[in-house]
Amino acid sequence: MSFSVAIVGRPNVGKSTLFNRLAGKRLAIVDDTPGVTRDRREAPGSIADLDFTIVDTAGLEDAAPAKLESRMSQQAQRAAKKADVVLFLIDGRAGVQPIDRHFADLLRTLSRPVLLIVNKCEGKAAIAGLGEAHGLGLGEPLALSAEHGEGLSDLYDALLPFAKDRDRRDEEADETAEEPDKSMNLAIVGRPNVGKSTIINRLLGEERMLTGPEAGITRDAIASEWLWKGKKIRLVDTAGMRRRANVFEKLEKLSVADTLRTIQYAEIVVLVLDAEQMLEKQDLAIARLVEEEGRGLVIAVNKWDTISQPAKALRKLEDRLEASLAQMRGVPTVVFSALTGKGLEKLMPAVMRVHAAWNKRVGTGELNRWLAPLLESHPPPLNKGRRIKIRYMTQAKARPPTFAVFASQPTALPESYQRYMVNAIRERFALQGVPIRITVRGGKNPFDKDRN
Ligand code: GDP
Ligand code: GDP
């Protein structure tokens, strides 16, 4: 059953871009004649299997600045009237503007749920804007890049309850219907012949399959669902696997594009290595992609049955990991033989640990209590004779853990010091196997209510 979603926000935050992204096709927005109200724009939209109606209540663009406020309140009221949920966009690069605050105040007075979306969050550029967005009092902000399609899985998660609400209302609430927990998206990647299919067959073979390989989360990915200790796991793969599933032929070479897409749809990635050829260039390239895409990583060394000197092989692996993947220090590594099954039972527990780390939220209080002694024992360096002061730190988001550091002379805080902080955070909060992002910015405490 469909529900409706309205997109609101000041001009230029990316509403049309998001509209197009969700509508899945390019609507000719540039053709909109100025002055002609786009008030009635509606389109069927979707993210993966979640269908809804998008209502674009735009019209602010044409407003003279003096009229902006009254237009905004009209827009917000219309949105609330028409939609089950309102997506309130702000521009993460520009940060929270006074007009955004005004809008937030308006939206709070309406009787509709609002999801606060911080757009233009591709890369790391806008992460600080996320911290600020907390201060709008509209709950947890969601990082998105409408233009690059990043953050859509988070948006999916955030919208899912509204679809369910609607279903419930429509079906007059089936009391027995259990709220299924969310499944975890897992990808198993690696060079051809390392044993991915063997692993998958063993994992799936031993568990109750919920759904077979079928068109899943997106048009170009497939997913199989299964239960591991009661937890729903969705194994995602893109075209590469589908081709394999359909025809019994080996893909001779690794398609980087397929691997990249698979990684993008996953939350946690298992990188499978062949025990006899560990961490070749391609393996490292995949590991780096996982890091860049902000996913959790588990390294799985398969074919351990072929190794005659396991201790030596392990040492070699550790050395290479330390040398080549320093940015993800301490990645959980499991060794096993998918052929015999020996050791494979360690894989899923490692995946679940990384998943927990990836989702981890460190409270702001805890974080800053930890930060204070760290800064004392290892203060940031001087810049042009003045000590760089770190004032405050918050976890802007999870998935992956992302921290905003508020400092004097923010641009002067050296990379090396940021790396030091990342490593310290990883150790203290047990964030092994997940990328940790840090952005540094100047300014005041974003949680400070008496900000003006
Ligand atoms: P609207 O006025 O709110 O409908 O905003 P538009 O969708 O027209 O976007 C305004 C500008 O922001 C355009 O130049 C877009 O290309 C750009 N934009 C939209 N989304 C993103 C994004 O996710 N990242 C970046 N960097 N730019 C974006
Ligand atoms: P994929 O291309 O990564 O999916 O690899 P496959 O699962 O098709 O495996 C490639 C080859 O490696 C097959 O001949 C498997 O039987 C073999 N293989 C897979 N796992 C193991 C293992 O743990 N030990 C050994 N010795 N061979 C394995």
Render pLDDT for 280-333 as a digit per residue (tens, 0 to 9): 888 998 999 999 999 999 999 999 999 999 999 999 988 888 888 877 788 999
343 touches ligand 1 (CB under 6 Å) = no
15 touches ligand 1 (CB under 6 Å) = yes
Closest-lying ligand 2 atom to the alpha carbon of residue 201: 7
pTM exceeds 0.85: no
* Contact between residue 420 and residue 375 where contact means Cβ atoms under 8 Å apart: no
59 touches ligand 1 (CB under 6 Å) = no
Q: How far is CA 222 from CA 185, 187, 249, 426, in A?
A: 11, 11, 18, 33
Closest-lying ligand 2 atom to the alpha carbon of residue 251: 2
Number of the ligand closest to the Cα of 75: 1
Closest-lying ligand 2 atom to the alpha carbon of residue 191: 3
343 touches ligand 2 (CB under 6 Å) = no
Distance 288 CA to ligand 2 centre (A): 24
Distance 349 CA to ligand 2 centre (A): 22
Residue labelled with tokens 């969700």: 22
Query: What pLDDT sits at residue 74?
Result: 76
Distance 415 CA to ligand 2 centre (A): 41
Q: Which DSSP state fits 30?
A: G
Q: In terms of DSSP bridges, do strands 114-119 and 209-215 run parallel, antiparallel, or are they unpaired? A: unpaired
Burial of 28 (0-12, 13-18, 19+ CB in 10 A): exposed
Q: In terms of DSSP bridges, do strands 231-238 and 221-228 run parallel, antiparallel, or are they unpaired? A: antiparallel
CA 150 to chain centre: 7
CA geometry: angle 16, 216, 328, nearest 5 deg: 80
Distance 94 CA to ligand 1 centre (A): 12
Q: Whose CA is nearest to atom 18 of ligand 2?
A: 195
Closest-lying ligand 1 atom to the alpha carbon of residue 125: 26
Q: How far is CA 411 from CA 187, 390, 415, 440, in A?
A: 37, 12, 10, 7
| Pocket residue to mutate for ligand 2, from 188, 189, 197, 198, most atoms within 8 A of Cβ | 198
Closest-lying ligand 1 atom to the alpha carbon of residue 150: 23
Query: What pLDDT sits at residue 49?
Result: 65
- What is the rounded distance in angstroms from the CA atom of residue 326 to the CA atom of residue 89? 36
| Pocket residue to mutate for ligand 1, from 17, 62, 89, 117, most atoms within 8 A of Cβ | 17
394 touches ligand 1 (CB under 6 Å) = no
Distance 192 CA to ligand 2 centre (A): 9
303 touches ligand 2 (CB under 6 Å) = yes
Q: Which residues does the chain have with pLDDT short of 70?
A: 1, 24-41, 48-49, 56-67, 124-128, 164-181, 206-222, 238-255, 443-452
339 touches ligand 2 (CB under 6 Å) = yes
Query: What pLDDT sits at residue 58?
Result: 57
Q: How many CB atoms lie within 10 A of CB 220?
A: 14
CA geometry: angle 212, 213, 218, nearest 5 deg: 125
Q: Whose CA is nearest to atom 6 of ligand 2?
A: 195
Query: What pLDDT sits at residue 164?
Result: 65
φ, ψ at 178 (rounded to 5°): -85, 145
